[in-house]
Chain A
Amino acid sequence: MPSQLIEKYFRTNSLPHIWCPGCGNGIVLRAIVKAIDNIGIDQNNVCVVSGIGCSSRASGYLDFNTVHTTHGRALAFATGIKLANPNLHVIVITGDGDCAAIGGNHLIHAARRNIDITTIVFNNNIYGMTGGQYSPTTPTGDKGTTAPYGNIDANFDLCELAKAAGATYVSRSTVYGANMIIKQVEAGIKNRGFSFIETLTTCPTYYGRKNKKGDPVDLIRHLKEISVNKTEYEKLPEEKRMGKIVIGELYRGERPEYTDEYIKIIESFKGEI
């Protein structure tokens, strides 16, 4: 089955990918194409837009309409694409630095508009491509090459941010649970509005090594240990919630979708012309 997915959805002439051995990004990428395959969308109608960073290289490997944009701007490019051609299923692949730091403004405004874009953040808690600098999601106290004495910044809860900004589907998953990623990407694509899926992935080369978190398997095991499904989390007593990360579908909302609203304005002039 995996090889069939590769044959169908990957540009095999653009492989091998550039990701390090043990990187979790491949798990997320497979889940994305599996979700698209499950829904059965015509590849010609899918547009994958990415920014800059390790995860954002994914667009080049995929056989859809694909754009590898500038750092942080994937959502702004995607907004133009979606508004120009609302028939396209627009999927943004981004990383924690790309989406939450340099592209943070575009994230909150895309969510505010509730434009029909499915955003998947590959959150590895570090700037991997540039060699391991701390990102807005690096946990406080952890190390990066630019935080040699430990990061004193507070880290973002990206799902809370997306929810507060107006996203109508918000979920979180980890590369330990690939099936959950598939389900969430499917739900995100089906949601007519802005969908935000944060997937916790692993960077053994920089984040893992710098913070002495062990080998790639240890990193994935760690994700399993700290993540708790939303329904279980809510049953946990306060003292057991410490250090846990909530996964699963976190929020669903109902709001008018942006391109639909714009088309209504266009339609209102139809009689005049």
Chain B
Amino acid sequence: MPEGRIKLMQGNEACVEAAIIAGMEFFAGYPITPSTEIAELSAAKLPRIGGKFIQMEDEIGSISAVIGASLAGKKSMTATSGPGFSLKQEGIGYAIMAEVPCVIVNVQRGGPSTGMPTSPAQGDIMQARWGTHGDHSIIALYPSTVREIFDTTIRAFNLAEKYRTPVILLMDEVIGHMREKILVPNKNDIKIYNRKKPTSGPKDYRPYQVKEGDIVPQMASFGEGYRFHVTGLVHNEMGFPSNDNKVAQNLINRLINKIENNIEDIVEYEEYRLEDAEEIIVAYGVTARSAKSAIDILRDEGLKIGLFRPITIWPVAQRQLEEIAKKVNSILVVEMNMGQYALEIDRIAGKYTRVGKYGRVDGELVTPEEIVSFVREGKDCQAN
């Protein structure tokens, strides 16, 4: 890909280009609208750089193959949409438990079930957070432009490697399929993070021990002489199954805390016209673009309103949102669902300020005009 040049690029295409720059060498997928272009482009590009692509027999097979390839040392990704994302939860849980870095792209569509395959929706916010069973934390990122898909995809790989965890990249159907111009950055300007390899020899290697100064256990790849065991069962530092209560509690604590204790590093967000704002809109992805236009219109009318746009959806920017909530009259969460992120914002901000919600799930984008009229009418809550 030509560096340092302006290119017209589709969102799904930007995702693949960025993944390759981030070091992706393996992709396993299954055809599903509206993410299929990610698989198609990976199939075309990966063998040209010595990487591997495989179309698996189903969605669970593809996340499983991705985890296997990552254990063998390759940065790996899969892409899907709602129904496939439901199926991938099994593998996501395994990757959390066994601490296997990988990236799962979910180009969302209307649901539940088969829903509206070609229409945009933002209905998988809570599934990204709690889709797999058991207590866990998760990293989920949500870009809002094609350029941001590019940057966020690289960041998804970096965070996956740094924290040894699956990272979910939530995308909007509209941005996945939209073409926007992006300035392709020079490779030298891009920071790439690779998993930390063992500093000890195979004899002293404890595959799930966190060494002093590290965030996560050092990770050997299969075939490098470190013969270790990986399981989805609760396991001790050697990776062997354990029913010990202390081992179980410590493991789950560690898996959650490696993310929750590093929120400031993981969280990324944009503040728009927030300086003197008395009213705040929280929106993400494509909906944030409508919210920005709405804010410009309302500002022209004299309303002191601004936008808080999370780019990291999970973990949530709790500290920043609390600080904002303490200063403003109200927060309105606008999203293409019936109020999923509004639940989380209300949990954080509800004790400091009024939290309202506006959403729609009819397969159409939220327009700037409807946000403007909703704010003008001063309502708290609506879901069409």
B23 close to A (CB within 8 Å): no
- Categorize the interface residue count of chain A: 35 or more
CB distance from A22 to the nearest CB of B (A): 23
- The answer to whether B47 touches A262, judged by C-beta atoms less than 8 angstroms apart, is yes
Minimal Cβ-Cβ distance residue in B for A63: B227
Do residues A79 and B229 form an inter-chain contact, with CB atoms below 8 A? no
Q: Point out which of A13, A59, A73 has the most chain B C-beta atoms below 10 A from its C-beta.
A: A73
Residue pair A105, B57 in contact (C-beta under 8 Å): yes
Contact B61 A76 (CB under 8 A): yes
0/1 per residue, A65-99, Cβ < 8 Å to B? 11111100100111111011101100000000000
B292 within 8 A of A: no
Known pairs A44-B227, A84-B74, A88-B223; A69 contacts B64 (CB<8 A): yes
Is B26 an interface residue when CB atoms closer than 8 A count as contact?
yes
Select which of A11, A14, A81, A108 is within 8 A of B222 by beta carbon.
A81
The complex places the Cα of A65 from the Cα of B69 at a distance, in Å, of: 13
Complex Cα distance, B94 from A135, in Å, reads 25
Residues of B in contact (CB 8 Å), total 45
**Cβ–Cβ contact A84 & B47, under 8 A:** no
**Alpha-carbon distance A87/B73, docked complex (angstroms):** 13
Closest chain A residue to B26, Cβ basis: A84
Other-chain residue from A70, A80, A262 in contact with B76 (beta carbon distance below 8 A): A80
Our pick among A14, A65, A73 for the contact of B227 (Cβ within 8 Å) is A65
With A60-B241, A69-B232, A80-B68: A273-B56 Cβ-Cβ less than 8 Å: no
Docked Cα-Cα span, A109 to B231, in Å, equals: 24
In the assembled complex, which residues on chain B have CB atoms less than 8 Å from the CB atom of A83? 26, 52, 54, 65, 69
B71: which A residues are within 8 A, CB to CB?
67, 77, 80-81
B47 x A65 contact (CB < 8 A): no
Find chain B residues with CB under 8 A from A88 CB. 72, 222-223
A67 nearest in chain B by CB position: B230
CB B166 to nearest CB in A, in angstroms, measures: 14
In the complex, chain B residues whose CB is within 8 Å of the CB of A60 = 229, 231, 240-241
Q: Which of A143-151, A194-202, A209-217, A264-272 contacts B (4 or more CB under 8 A)?
A: A264-272
Task: Judge whether B52 and A84 touch: CB under 8 Å.
Answer: yes
Is B90's CB within 8 Å of the partner chain A? yes
Q: Can you show 21 pairs from A to B with CB atoms below 8 A apart?
A: A14-B229, A47-B222, A47-B223, A49-B68, A67-B230, A67-B231, A78-B68, A79-B68, A80-B54, A80-B69, A80-B70, A81-B68, A83-B65, A85-B72, A88-B222, A105-B57, A105-B61, A108-B57, A262-B47, A265-B47, A269-B48
Can you name 13 extra interface pairs (CB under 8 A) apart from A70-B232, A76-B60? A44-B225, A49-B68, A68-B231, A77-B65, A77-B71, A78-B68, A80-B26, A80-B28, A80-B54, A80-B65, A84-B26, A88-B223, A262-B47
B contact set with A: CB distance below 8 Å:
25-26, 28, 47-50, 52, 54, 56-58, 60-62, 64-74, 76, 90-91, 94, 221-225, 227-233, 238, 240-241
